[in-house]
A and B are shown apart, each in its own frame.
Chain A
Amino acid sequence: MTALALDGVVARYGDLQVLGPLSLELVRGQTIALVGKSGAGKSTLLSLMHQHWRSRGVALMPQDLGLVPTLSVYHNVYMGGLAQRSSWHNLVTLVRPYRHDVAQILPVLQTLGIDHKCWSATGELSGGQRQRVAAARAIYQAGEVLLADEPASALDGPMAETVLGALTQTYQTAVLAMHDVDLALRFSDRVVGIADGGIALDQPTHRVQASDLLSLY
Chain B
Amino acid sequence: MRRSASVSTSLWFVALAVVCAFFADLTISAHDPWGELARLFSGLLTPDLTRTDYLAEALVRTLAFAFVGVGLGAASGFALAMVFGSRIVRTFCAFIRAIHELFWALIFLQFFGLHPLTGVLAIAIPYAGVFGKVYAEILEETDPQPRDTLPFGTGKIIALLYTRVSQAWPQLVTYTSYRLECGLRSSAVLGFVGMPTLGFYLESAFAQGHYSAVGALLLLFYVLITTLRLWVRPKLVPLYLMVAPFLLGSGLPIRWQNVTRFFTEDIVPAPLRGGEGWSELGPWLVELLSTEALPGIWNTLVLTQIALVLTGVLTLLLYPLGSRHFTNRLTGPLGHTVLVVLRSTPEYLLAFILLQLWGPSMLPAVIALAVHNSGIIGHLIGRRSNDVTLRPDAPTGIERYAYELTPRLYGPFLAFLFYRWEIIMRETAILGILGIATLGFYVDSAIQEIRFDRAMVLILITALLNIGVDILARWLRARLRLKHTAQSEP
Contact = CB atoms under 8 A, between A and B. Distances in A.
Contacts of B154: 82-83
Interface string A93-137: 010000000000000000000000000000000000000001001
A23 B229 CA distance: 59
Interface stretch (A9-17, A35-43, A61-69): A61-69
Interface stretch (A51-59, A196-204, A207-215): A51-59
Contacts of B85: none
A79 B152 CA distance: 11
A80 B151 contact: yes
A83 B150 CA distance: 8
- Summarize A's interface: helix, strand, loop or mixed: helix
Interface in B147-198: 147-155, 157-159, 161-163, 166-167, 169-170
Contact of A62 (B148, B157, B167): B148
B227 interface: no
B395 interface: no
Given A62-B145, A68-B146, A68-B163, A54 B152 contact: yes
Nearest to A142: B151
Contacts of A2: none
Nearest to B164: A68
A60 B50 CA distance: 66
Contact of A68 (B153, B158, B167, B170): B167
Contacts, number: 74
Contacts of A59: 149, 151
A160 to B, nearest CB: 20
A50 B169 CA distance: 28
A64 to B, nearest CB: 6
A64 B147 CA distance: 12
A87 B158 contact: yes
- Summarize B's interface: helix, strand, loop or mixed: helix
Given A67-B146, A68-B167, A137-B149, A82 B157 contact: no
A153 interface: no
A91 interface: yes
A56 B158 CA distance: 20
A141 B152 CA distance: 10
A68 B166 contact: yes
A71 B146 CA distance: 11
A50 B161 CA distance: 22
Contacts of A169: none
A163 to B, nearest CB: 16
A31 interface: no
Contacts of B151: 57, 59, 80-84, 141, 143
B157 A87 contact: yes
A82 B163 contact: no
Nearest to B142: A68
B149 A62 contact: yes
Given A61-B149, A62-B148, A62-B149, A71 B162 contact: yes
A190 interface: no
Contacts of B158: 82, 87, 90-91
A87 B162 CA distance: 11
A99 to B, nearest CB: 20
A54 B397 CA distance: 61
13 contacts: A55-B152, A57-B151, A57-B152, A58-B152, A59-B149, A60-B148, A64-B145, A70-B166, A79-B146, A82-B151, A83-B153, A87-B158, A90-B158
